[in-house]
């Protein structure tokens, strides 16, 4: 981390620890030891662990925002997969957020509004994505089906990595990989995909399920 500020080093180390061990298991003293600074030096930059969590949550929001913007503008099935892949990469990089969300909101209720706003933005983007695909003739889906698909996609993106921890690997497939997660989220659309777009789904099936 040469050339990185102490503040950024604290955030990077905290992110790695939270992702591996969970928020509850990591103390500020542990973070200071991993960064190789004194607890006093850490508290100079962040008074509490809550401040570290809040900064990381803001970074997560910033990482996810371009994915949601891209999702709202797609009109082809291959663009959907790419957008989902980017989204799952962002979620994986900050996997502690959704994995530990119950603890996070209980311990840091000030983040509840921001967390709800993020999920709402995801739902709006997913709804727009499905509606645009339907308008483009890629999906044959009613307004009610579009709403259902959007809800299912948001549920999958927020819960996938928690589910993947309980899923054993089989062969070359990594259930926790962003590509695999993106493929399975995309299959939610499969019953409604029509025309040439089905060929792309078949291509992805061969890539991830062989």
14 near 56, Cβ under 8 Å? yes
24 near 103, Cβ under 8 Å? yes
Confidence tier at 2 by pLDDT (50, 70, 90):
very low
CATH topology of domain 49-209: Tetracycline Repressor; domain 2 (1.10.357)
Instruction: Kindly report whether the global pTM for this prediction surpasses the value 0.85.
Output: yes
Domain parsing of the chain, residue ranges: 1-47, 49-209
Residue 9 pLDDT greater than 80, yes or no: yes
Per CATH, the number for 1-47 is: 1.10.10.60
Confidence tier at 184 by pLDDT (50, 70, 90):
confident
Three-state SS for 140? Answer: coil
pLDDT tens for each residue of 59-86: 999 999 999 999 888 888 888 888 999 9
Residue 88 pLDDT greater than 70, yes or no: yes
Q: What confidence score (pLDDT) does residue 173 get? A: 55
**Both ends of the chain: CA-CA distance in Å?**
39
* % of the chain exceeding 70 in pLDDT: 93
144: its two tokens: 């009610």
Residues sharing a CB contact under 8 Å with residue 180, sequence separation 6 or more, in sequence order: 173, 174, 208
pLDDT tens for each residue of 128-181: 999 999 999 999 999 999 999 999 999 999 998 888 777 766 555 556 678 888
Q: What confidence score (pLDDT) does residue 197 get? A: 84
Backbone angles phi, psi at 139, to 5 degrees: -115, 145
Q: What confidence score (pLDDT) does residue 1 get? A: 46
Tokens 């004194």 locate to 38
């Amino acid at each position: 981390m040469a050339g990185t500020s102490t503040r950024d080093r604290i955030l990077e180390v905290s992110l790695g620890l939270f992702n591996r061990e969970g928020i509850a298991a990591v103390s500020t003293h542990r973070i200071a030891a991993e960064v190789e600074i004194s607890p006093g030096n850490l508290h100079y930059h962040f008074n509490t662990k809550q401040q570290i969590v809040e900064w990381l949550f803001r970074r997560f929001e910033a990482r996810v925002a371009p994915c949601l913007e891209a999702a709202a503008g797609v009109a082809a099935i291959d663009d959907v997969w790419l957008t989902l892949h980017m989204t799952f990469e962002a979620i994986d990089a900050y996997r502690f957020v959704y994995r530990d969300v119950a603890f996070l909101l209980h311990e840091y209720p000030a983040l509840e509004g921001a967390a709800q706003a993020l999920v709402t933005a995801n739902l709006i983007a997913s709804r727009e994505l499905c509606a645009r695909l339907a308008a483009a003739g890629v999906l044959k889906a009613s307004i009610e089906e579009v709403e259902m698909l959007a809800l299912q996609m948001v549920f999958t993106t927020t819960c996938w990595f928690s589910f993947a921890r309980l899923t054993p690997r089989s062969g070359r497939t990594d259930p926790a990989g962003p590509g695999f997660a993106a493929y399975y989220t995309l299959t939610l659309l499969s019953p409604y995909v029509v025309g040439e777009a089905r060929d792309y789904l078949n291509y992805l099936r061969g890539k991830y399920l062989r």
